[in-house]
Structure 1
Amino acid sequence: TVPLGSLLPPGAALMMDGVEPIKLTFFLCATEGCTTVATPLNPDMIAAMKKGEQAVVRVAAPNKQVVGLPLSLNGFTKALDALKK
């Protein structure tokens, strides 16, 4: 979920160092924020997320300035492994 007030047409992007960004398309906005469509992660992004400590979700603010929202990756590998069981 990204903050209310994010510009919807540009969507959002999941960013990790050394990996091509993944575009996230907005699906629904409600009182708690806007949700993006579930987007498959490519193998390079998954590998980077397993090794990394933080990713960034970028969105555009109403003034068209790009804002980076930090995303902790603590526990990512453990959660992914649990989903595979």
Structure 2
Amino acid sequence: MKIVKNPKKKINIRKGTILVAVQTTPDYVPIIKKFSAIVVDEGGITSHAAIISREFKIPCIIGTKIATQVLKDGDIVEVDANKGIVKKII
């Protein structure tokens, strides 16, 4: 799991890493396809994160309000986009 505040800053992304952000913008597009899921604090079904996740067929949970506050880089989390659940494992 990786909290991304600046999508233009170079980051190392390992396979299976989940993107966590306050929201996404078009600046995130080049890196989004490297992530296995997207979790954002803000947004709805017509938000950028929702639209781009459907386009890239990446699971996405939107509108968590607190994901960037309660999760930390490197946390192991499980995402169930069908149920809208983000579960911290470690």
TM-score of the superposed pair, with normalisation by structure 1: 0.26
Structure with the larger strand share: 1
Q: If you compute each CA radius of gyration, which structure gives the higher value, 1 or 2?
A: 1
Indicate the structure whose relative CO is greater, using CA pairs within 8 Å and at least 6 residues apart: 1
TM-score in terms of structure 2 length? 0.25
